[in-house]
Structure 1
Amino acid sequence: MKKNVITIAITLAAAASIFAVISYNSAKMDAAGNANHGVAAKAVVQLPEVAVMAVSKGNYQAEVIGYGEAKSRYQLTLTSEVSGQVESIGQNFATGKQFKQGEAVIQINDIDYQQALTSAQVTVADAKLALLEEQRQGQQARLEWKNSGITGEPESPLVLREPQLIAAQATLKNAQSQLTKAQRDLDKTAIAAPFSALVVSRDVQLGSYLQVGNTIGTLYSTDRMEIEIPLSAHQWTSLPDISGAVEGQWPVTLTNTTGDAQWQGYVERVEQHLDNASRQRSLVVVVEQPLAQQTPLFPGTFVTATVEGKALNNLWQLPATAISQNGDVWYIGADGYLATFTAKKQFSQGELSYITPAEGMESANIIIRPLNSYVQGMQVIAKHKNQSDMQLADVTRLDIKTSSVAANHVSVKL
């Protein structure tokens, strides 16, 4: 009986211990669950922060950006107009050197042409003599017809030697034309530069024999350089009145591809046709005395042309990162929720874009770098960026520096 009591007591003690352990673990689990629930609740109410900048409508001076190749005003393949052997070559007739207008390029042996000129001179002298004799004979024939007492005109003009006189006059005229040609051929044996030029290539040597039409060399004029700048239809709408601007030598800044050289030019004319390949119309920009510039502008140089456009009103100036890949602009509405609209971009310059504001909006808090995960109506916390904090040069930052564009110039790109 005593052993049964002890057994029952031990069993009850073990049951009490097990119950205590279970109760303790349950309390710990409940406490941990409550803690996790609190964290989850806190995560639900924690809103994402987004960097925004306040924008408002502004007025800007447009700059139209185009590209082209510098070409000489005249690019001439010089050819021979007479045949003969090259007797001498001008001292400056070598690639890379420059000629002044009228300076001798080559001299062709002219003995045969001198002889032809002398022969033509003799022919002209004989024709003049023959004409004088015929005029004298015609006068004598008229006097004899008058003294004959026959009234009226003779039946044939040969009686008064009128056809003979016409033939003599025509012979003299033909002889004079031959003399002019002989003199011209002789003059063409001395070939000179038709304009101040740069020698691009030379295709003859001393002693070379030239036929009519043979190439002598290639010359590029040096008085001015012309650059055709094709522009899209959208870019043309950003330019001021064309006729007035051209008359006033519309200024253009040209920069080479490496950005270490600049030249000042002006719009000299506007093309009145569309290019067959690009379907664009071009401005023609001129640089005077290109090789005399501090940094010479050589033919064949590819340049970027910055053309001053017209004033643009009521645009928003945004960092380029504010426009998503889909072309949307995200902003925070007055209720604090995300909203979006499709950007109508007008111009861009570097890291800045200029767009037409959404209809009915004067200003807005624009998200600087929107994410693909954004949805309409999403609630966020705005973190405003000041203009003084913005750095356009560092594209890895969210900040955008606008103080560097105080002149409010924008560029129109294709």
Structure 2
Amino acid sequence: MKLNRLNVIVTVLSLGSIFVAVGYTASHLPPSPNQKAPEVEKIEKPVATTTAVSLLPQVGVVAVSGQEYQAEVIGFGEATPRYELTLSAEISGKIDSVSRQFESGQVIKKGTVLGQINDISYQQALTQAQTDVAQAELDLLEEQREGEQAKSEWLRSGLSGEPASPLVLRTPQLAQATAALENAKLALKKAKQDVAYTKITAPFDALVVSRDIQPGSYVQTGTQLGTLYSIAEVEINVPLSDLQWQNLPDFDNAELAKTPWNVTLYSANGHNQWQGYIERVEQHLTQTSRQRSLIVVVDNPLAQQADLYPGTFVKAQINGKTLSNLWQLPSSAISQQGDIWFVDDNGLLAKSAAAIAFEKEGFVYVSPIANEQQTQSGLMQIIKRPLSSFKVGIKVLAKVEV
């Protein structure tokens, strides 16, 4: 009985295999001439289009239109003291002493005594000048008295008119005595000044840069004693190009004296910042760069949170005029050749020379390209990172990036 069941199962499986083989063969035979081929489902064209588009090179773009922006001008310069003085001796003599304040790096107040020149001969000259003044005053008084006596005698003589000679009334003698007194007073004034010059003093609040004397030195009139920098303020000469001047208001020195224009200054490494102002603008071009400069001033440079030392190289950031109809683009959008690449309405690559107005915080602000290259929507699709392999007229797929 078990054997019969096994035979039945084997027979059924064999018949099934035969039917499957016949069905597969029939499905792969070409249809007969009188038999219509079964309809094949059509593939929709959008799928093919999508496949074709996906094969186009993709470029990242930003959509821009003309907007209004405040220009920013960046310049560079070196901080210099308003006054840089080579201190010189006003008189000759031996240096008796030098102040400990008269050392490089020291900040001194106006009038600080920096050194002493031996003053014995100058004190003696002062005493002599005082004596000469006293004698001249005495001579003048005596001459005035003699002149009065001469006039009195002339009147008593009964002679009419004026004397034949001015010597009769001692007029020239009186003039000579008066002039002698004036000369003696001037000599006294000079003697006092020479005594004052024996003390070497600071003419303004200053930073001592160098000292060129020591006790025992002998100096002549005009001998260099040291170098001082004023510390009340520093100046930064910032040369600018013609394009940068166009982005700034028309500065007038008289107006700047009343209302200074604020400027932000940065150190070369960007770690330190100072606030200054435009004090004046120059009215000439330098022979070397052919540029015109503006002068930025920082008050009390050594009293800032971060001291601004003379000689520091700084970057000046100046807010300029408000300009209209500009594109704001990432700096990477300008190619190495100075061109702007964009995608037109037909999806083709095109380029135009960039007319840069100014740059600010990683963006470049340019004038829109020629009107005939504008898109119908009014927005331009500017390529953010143009490649050197780009060629005009290549069809691409633009992808807007934030």
The aligned runs of 1:83-94 (5 Å cut-off) are 83-94=92-103
CA distance in 2, matches of 1:351, 1:224: 32
Shift of 1:44: 11
Q: Quick one: which amino acid aligns to residue 374 of structure 1?
A: F
Q: Distance in 2 between matches of 1:154 and 1:80?
A: 54
| 1:60-84 Cα deviation digits (max 9, x unpaired) | 1221100011111111110110111
CA contact 1:222–1:291 (8 Å) conserved in 2: yes
Contact 2:129 2:187 in 1 (8 A): yes
- For residues 45 and 354 of structure 1, the distance between their equivalents in structure 2, rounded to whole angstroms, comes to 33
Contact persistence 1:246–1:267 (CA under 8 A): no
The answer to whether the Cα contact below 8 Å between 1:57 and 1:316 also exists between their aligned partners in 2 is: yes
CA distance in 1, matches of 2:99, 2:54: 89
Look up the SS of the partner of 1:242 in the other structure: coil
User: Structure 1 residues 127-136 or 376-385, which shifts more?
Assistant: 376-385
Q: Name the SS of the counterpart of 1:169 in structure 2.
A: helix
Residue 371 in structure 1 maps to residue 387 in structure 2: yes
**Cα distance in structure 2, aligned partners of 1:297 and 1:326:** 39
> Does residue 321 of the first structure (1) align with residue 332 of the second (2)?
yes
% identical equivalent positions = 54
Is 1:133 matched with 2:149? no
The one-letter amino acid paired with 1:85 is K
Aligned counterpart for 2:307 among listed residues 265, 281, 296: 296
Q: Which residue of 2 aligns with 1:332?
A: 343
Matched to 1:151, the amino acid is S
Alpha-carbon shift at residue 349 of structure 1 (Å): 3.0
Q: CA deviation at 1:351?
A: 3.6
Q: Contact conserved, 2:72 with 2:359, CA < 8 A, in 1?
A: no
Deviation of 1:264 (Å): 1.0
- Unaligned regions of 5+ residues in structure 1, if any? 1-41, 388-414
Distance 1:56 1:274 in 2: 37
Q: Is it true that 1:111 corresponds to 2:110 in the alignment?
A: no
Please give the alpha-carbon distance, in whole angstroms, between the structure 2 residues aligned to 1:67 and 1:226: 12
Q: Which residue of 2 aligns with 1:346?
A: 357
Matching of residue 381 in structure 1 with residue 397 in structure 2:
yes
Q: Which moved more, 1:246-255 or 1:60-69?
A: 246-255
Counting only pairs closer than 5 Å after superposition, residues 110-259 of structure 1 correspond to structure 2 as: 110-243=119-252, 244=255, 247-259=258-270
> Matched residue pairs, number?
345
1:92 Cα deviation from its structure 2 partner? 0.9
Tell me the equivalent position of 1:47: 56
Alignment check: 8 A CA contact 2:72 2:320 kept: yes
Identify the residue that residue 45 of structure 2 maps to in structure 1: none
| Deviation of the 1:369 alpha carbon | 2.2
Cα distance in 1 between the residues matched to 2:159 and 2:131: 41
Instruction: Quickly say closer, same or farther: Cα 1:57–1:245, change in 2 above 3 A.
Output: farther
Alignment of 1:6-85 (within 5 A): 46-85=55-94
- Give 2:95's aligned amino acid: V
Are 1:273 and 2:284 counterparts?
yes
Code of the aligned partner of 1:324:
S
Aligned to 2:294: 283
Counterparts in 2 of 1:44 and 1:357: CA distance versus 1, 3 Å: closer
Instruction: Look up the SS of the partner of 2:102 in the other structure.
Output: coil
Q: State the distance in 1 between where 2:345 and 2:53 align.
A: 22
CA distance in 1, matches of 2:146, 2:390: 111
One-letter amino acid of the counterpart of residue 343, structure 2: I
Under a length normalisation based on structure 1, what TM-score does the superposition of the two structures give?
A: 0.80
Give the distance between the partners of 2:333 and 2:100, measured in 1 at CA.
63
Larger radius of gyration: 2
Structure-2 change in CA distance of 1:43 and 1:172 (3 Å): same
Q: Residue 256 of structure 2 contacts residue 279 of structure 2 at CA under 8 Å; is this kept in 1?
A: no
* In 2: Cα distance, 1:246 partner to 1:376 partner: 53
Does the 8 Å CA contact 1:99/1:193 hold for their aligned counterparts? yes
Asked if 2 retains the 8 angstrom alpha-carbon contact of 1:68 and 1:303, the reply is yes
Partner of 1:67, secondary structure, is strand
Q: What's the offset of the Cα at 1:241?
A: 4.0
- The RMSD of aligned alpha carbons is 1.8
Distance in 1 (alpha carbons) for counterparts of 2:321 and 2:210: 43
Q: CA deviation at 1:160?
A: 1.1
CA 1:308–1:175 in 2, change beyond 3 Å: closer, same or farther?
same
The residue identity in structure 2 corresponding to 1:131 is: L
| Amino acid across the alignment from 2:335 | S
Aligned-residue offset at 1:344: 1.1
Q: In the alignment, residue 267 of structure 1 is paired with which amino acid?
A: I
Q: What's the CA shift for 1:346?
A: 1.2
- Distance in 1 (CA, whole Å) between partners of 2:103 and 2:348 is 73
Task: Please state how far the C-alpha of 1:246 moved relative to its aligned partner.
Answer: 5.6
Q: How far apart, in 1, do the equivalents of 2:121 and 2:389 lie?
A: 89
The structural deviation recorded for 1:245 is: 5.5
Provide, for residues 310-360 of structure 1, a one-character-per-residue CA deviation record: whole Å limited to 9, x for no partner: 112111111222222232222111122222222211112354221111233
Amino acid at match of 2:191: A
Cα distance between partner residues in 1 of 2:93 and 2:200: 12
Determine helix, strand or coil for the equivalent of 2:289: coil
Residue 200 of structure 1: how far off its partner (Å): 0.4
TM-superposed deviation, 1:384: 2.1
